[in-house]
């Protein structure tokens, strides 16, 4: 009997939890079936965000590029350039 009561209480608690979660989650808007999305929906906040990858890459590469400009020995400069190319720290062609 104790097991049946525990099972029923568990079912009630789980049901209440399920319905509470459904109430707390935001309601999703229904879109029209035409398939056309407005520009506001597709590009909303993404245009406002900075290009974090570009900022990170520049902040990572800048000290190495500055150090490369201070190397005057030809052999060391070639080694340094090869090292930067192998590690991916050399600036790309489009940058």
Residue-wise pLDDT tens digits, 34-76: 555 555 555 566 677 788 888 888 888 888 888 888 999 999 9
Residue 48 near residue 40, CB atoms below 8 Å:
no
User: Stretch 72-94: mean pLDDT, rounded?
Assistant: 83
**Which is nearest to 18 in space by CA: 10, 7, 28, 30?**
10
Structure pTM? 0.42
16 Cβ contact partners less than 8 Å away, ≥ 6 residues apart? none
For residue 94, what pLDDT is reported?
A: 52
For residue 92, what pLDDT is reported?
A: 66
7 — pLDDT class (breaks 50, 70, 90)? very high
More confident call, 91 vs 33: 91
- Domain residue ranges of the chain, discontinuous segments joined by +: 49-95
CA distances from 22 to 11, 13, 14, 17, 19 (A): 16, 14, 12, 9, 5
């Amino acid at each position: 009997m104790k097991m049946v009561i525990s099972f029923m209480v568990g079912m009630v608690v789980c049901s209440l939890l399920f319905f509470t979660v459904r109430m707390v989650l935001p309601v999703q808007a229904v879109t029209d079936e035409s398939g056309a999305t407005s520009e506001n929906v597709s590009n909303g906040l993404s245009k406002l965000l900075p290009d974090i990858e570009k900022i990170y890459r520049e902040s990572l590469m800048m000290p190495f590029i500055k150090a490369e400009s201070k190397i005057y020995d030809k052999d060391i400069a070639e080694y340094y350039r090869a090292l930067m190319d192998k590690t991916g720290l050399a600036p790309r062609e489009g940058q």
